[in-house]
Amino acid sequence: MKAAIILVFTFLLALTLLLPSSRYVPEMAVTAQVSPTPVAFDQAAALAKLREQIKGRENEPATAVFKNIQTMKNTPAGRLLSVMEMGFARSLGVTCTHCHVPEKWDSEDKPQKQIAREMSAMVSTINRDLLRNIKNLKSEAPIVNCTTCHRGEVKPALNLPPK
């Protein structure tokens, strides 16, 4: 009798330990507690907010409106935002977050922001000092820009896609 009770008890104990369902915690619940899913970056909303913030000052130089302008000093503030959207983000196939921590637009947290400044300088050198000196081109004032190389990619292609 005693042996039978011990046997049943051991069996039940083994059952509770082995049954996965009794100890199962849904993975989603754990992840949600540890690191909540970050809210997706809304580029259109970020741009709309910035345009609202600079309302009435779009034609002032970027330096007068923004905090940390080193390259595009004479660019009108409104135009700077268009450059950010079309010239930088779209031509590289990225969003603002590639170079910025959203809302901290003036900070230098991301090295890509500095790279972009040096890329702008490189583009100026190509346009001002090199391209202009090539004789017999079709255009009077030939230029390259970010899209010329990047074409929607962070890393410009070296080869055409295979046919």
Binding ligand HEC by CB under 6 A: which of 154, 157, 159, 161?
154
SS3 assignment, position 61: strand
Say if residues 106 and 66 touch (Cβ distance below 8 Å): yes
Instruction: State how far Cα 58 lies from the chain centre.
Output: 24
Instruction: State how far Cα 41 lies from the chain centre.
Output: 9
> Which of 138, 155 has the CB closer to ligand HEC?
155
Binding ligand HEC by CB under 6 A: which of 7, 12, 32, 115?
115
Site for ligand HEC, residues 4 to 33, rule: CB under 6 A: none
Alpha helices, DSSP H, located in 19-126? 27-34, 43-53, 62-65, 77-82, 91-92, 111-125
Q: Cβ of residue 28: shortest distance to ligand HEC, in angstroms? A: 32
Q: Does 66 bind ligand HEC (CB under 6 A)?
A: yes
Site for ligand HEC, residues 73 to 92, rule: CB under 6 A: 84-85, 88-89, 92
Beta bridge partners of residue 61, listed in sequence order: 76
> Which of 19, 154 has the CB closer to ligand HEC?
154
